[in-house]
Structure 1
Amino acid sequence: MLAEELAAIAAAGAGALVQAAGTDAWTGIRDRVSHLFGREQEQRTSESLDLTLTALEHANPSSELAQVRARQAVYWQVRFEDLLNSLAAEQQQLAVVQLREVIEGMRQSGSPSDHLSISGDVSVRATHGSVAGVLLTGDIHIENPLQPGSERG
């Protein structure tokens, strides 16, 4: 499997995992991910997953949560990439299937694995002939910034 494909599945798995934290889907995702890493790493992985959950639960939603989610997603993406790259081709294919099942499990659980709540700036760019897009749904609140020197009334 190409490195780009492995990176993409690792990123998707990491995103699904971070989005699952604190939801009804967490226990199932936690168990599947621990199993994915195998018996030798199962305990360490379970402990890392517990630390991820704790970090996300204790992050201040208004000031820290986005950064903590991003850090945890990067951490798990690297863990997934390292795992996938360490496996022989046949084992790697099986692990990719299992990771895709984790991602699909999140989608089917109704958890927002493919949704993102953003507080702050959003920038969407397409480069090198690619296409980018954003679908906005639900409540969207846009406030105009204050003009320099004006006071909020």
Structure 2
Amino acid sequence: MVAEESTAPAAVGGTAVVRAAGTSAWPGLRQAVVGWFGREDFGREDFGREDFGREDEESVGTELDRSAHALTSADDAVAEAVRRAVRDAWQARFETALAGLADHERGPAAEALRALLDAHAPSPAAAVSATGDGLAVGGDVAIRADHGSVAALRMGDVTLANPPLPGPPQY
């Protein structure tokens, strides 16, 4: 099982792939992720050296390109489902890669993943935009109304009144 210190960067990695696709951050993040998956030994003293061998760089790059294409070409009706699926798939891929490492390699690999995400992943604010009087949120929004109250992120013309009485039962 992968330690907590490894699951957090894996989750951030999945989210970073989704946020970067179709942006100017994509080429740098893509190249860094391909390189991360290709590292041969995360436990060496000379760990930063570009030795590849864990996974085929070409296949990782191809999967990243497929993910980016799916994200950038999804229609609005399915875009959120595609984002979730791609995020979850890459999170699982990062977690699997970390879990497959020896104990002495896992910590340095998780740290290397964190560093590449810090350097190449777009910030949440950079991944959202709005035009006109719109509101853009880089994450989840939860709005609740409890105990008969009304809540909304943005409301146009709203009239609060008692609902009409139901009509007679129809059998």
Same-fold status (TM-score > 0.5): yes
Which residue of the partner structure matches residue 141 of structure 1?
154
Which residue of the partner structure matches residue 169 of structure 2?
none
Per-residue deviation, residues 22-44 of structure 1 (Å, max 9, x unmatched): 11110010001011111332111
Alpha-carbon shift at residue 83 of structure 1 (Å): 0.3
Instruction: Indicate if the aligned counterparts of 1:10 and 1:80 stay in contact, CA closer than 8 A.
Output: yes
Alpha-carbon shift at residue 12 of structure 1 (Å): 1.0
Give the Cα separation in 2 of the matches to 1:10 and 1:144: 44
Query: Highest CA radius of gyration, 1 or 2?
Result: 2
Choose the corresponding residue for 2:61, options 4, 24, 46.
46
Alpha-carbon shift at residue 111 of structure 1 (Å): 3.1
Give the Cα separation in 1 of the matches to 2:24 and 2:125: 9
Alpha-carbon shift at residue 98 of structure 1 (Å): 1.9
Instruction: Indicate if the aligned counterparts of 2:6 and 2:95 stay in contact, CA closer than 8 A.
Output: yes
Structure 1 residues without counterparts, runs of 5 or longer? 125-139
Which residue of the partner structure matches residue 81 of structure 2?
67
Which residue of the partner structure matches residue 9 of structure 1?
9
Alpha-carbon shift at residue 107 of structure 1 (Å): 4.7
Alpha-carbon shift at residue 89 of structure 1 (Å): 2.5
CA spacing shift, 1:92–1:117, aligned 2, 3 Å: closer
TM-score, L = length of structure 2: 0.63
Alpha-carbon shift at residue 117 of structure 1 (Å): 5.6
Please state whether the residue corresponding to 1:141 is helix, strand or coil.
coil
Alpha-carbon shift at residue 123 of structure 1 (Å): 6.2
Greater helix percent: which structure? Answer: 1
Which residue of the partner structure matches residue 55 of structure 1?
70
Which residue of the partner structure matches residue 27 of structure 1?
27
Residue type matched to 1:55 in 2?
A: A
Per-residue deviation, residues 64-121 of structure 1 (Å, max 9, x unmatched): 11111100000001000000011113322222122112321225697339x6266xx7
Give the Cα separation in 1 of the matches to 2:59 and 2:143: 36
State the Cα RMSD in Å.
Answer: 3.2
TM-score, L = length of structure 1: 0.70
